Amino acid sequence: MQPSILVVDDDPGHLSMLTTVLSGWGYRVEGASGGAAALQALRERPRDLVITDVRMAGMDGIEVLRAVKDYNPAVPVLIMTAYSSVETAVEALKAGAYDYLIKPLDLDVLRLAMDRALDHLRLQTENRALKERLGREFESSEIIGQSPPMRELLDMAAMVAPTEATVLVVGESGTGKELVARAIHANSPRKNGPLVTVNCAALPETLLESELFGHEKGAFTGADRRREGRFMAADKGTIFLDEIGEMSPTTQAKLLRVIQEREIERVGGDRPIG
């Protein structure tokens, strides 16, 4: 279905010209001769885009813009005026206008502005639908909370869970970083694999590298056999590195290479393992 456009202008000739042009471009168009008529038309039927003049008798274009945003903040509004001024443009954009057009209108510029505004609306709608779908599908029974920050956190977790992205979970001690890691794992394609948790602060620096990457036989005193590390244990699953900030810069540099290259090298080894 073609987008529905509402054009608002108290100049009958300009209003008629615009509605004719936009109809010729294939849009569903309705004209309103002033602000009050525009708001009445919006109450009767939602629109995908509003194009309004600034200077009109009664309710001016800025008032129309604010009323449209109060009614539905997602609807893009294009402001047009024959009286170009920086002050008017700034006021319109601050009030939420998508763009600002100068009369007499350049039809190519108008069409480009309309295409961009409608694309923006479409992306907003798709993003909202995606968040709602991910929210319905995302299993987070261990995490309780409906506040806006918590919903934003769960939305982000739902978006990264299906991907192979490396995720940094930041928060004060006791805020539930491991719960977030478990939720991401449980909703990922790797959920049937292991979730391996490593408390980096609990391991001595001399053992941490071997614990993470494994070691070869004879790599150091007491290494009487090859040992696989936690990364290998998490193969086809998820590894959660808790308190990563407690690692030494040297170990963090080695970990960065693992994250970037997606391969490890055992302590004492000379062959990367992907």
What's the whole-number mean pLDDT along residues 135-156? 76
- pLDDT tens for 131-145 read 666 555 566 667 777
The pLDDT, as a whole number, for residue 84 is 65
Which three-class secondary structure state does DSSP give residue 3? coil
C-alpha–C-alpha distance, residues 235 and 273, integer Å: 11
- Answer for the pair 209, 253: CB distance below 8 angstroms, yes or no: no
91 — phi, psi (to 5°)? -60, -45
What's the whole-number mean pLDDT along residues 95-103? 89
- Answer for the pair 124, 103: CB distance below 8 angstroms, yes or no: no
Does 271 score more than 80 pLDDT?
Answer: no
Would strands 49-53 and 28-32 be described as parallel, antiparallel, or unpaired?
unpaired
- pLDDT tens for 8-28 read 999 999 999 999 999 999 999
Could you give all domains of the chain from N- to C-terminal order, each with its CATH number? 4-130 (3.40.50.2300), 148-261 (3.40.50.300)
- pLDDT tens for 80-95 read 987 766 777 788 888 8
pTM over 0.95, yes/no: no
Cα 159-127-95 angle, rounded to 5 deg: 130
- Answer for the pair 50, 8: CB distance below 8 angstroms, yes or no: yes
DSSP secondary structure letters along 142-168? T----SHHHHHHHHHHHHHTTS-----
The confidence band for 79, taking pLDDT boundaries of 50, 70 and 90, is very high
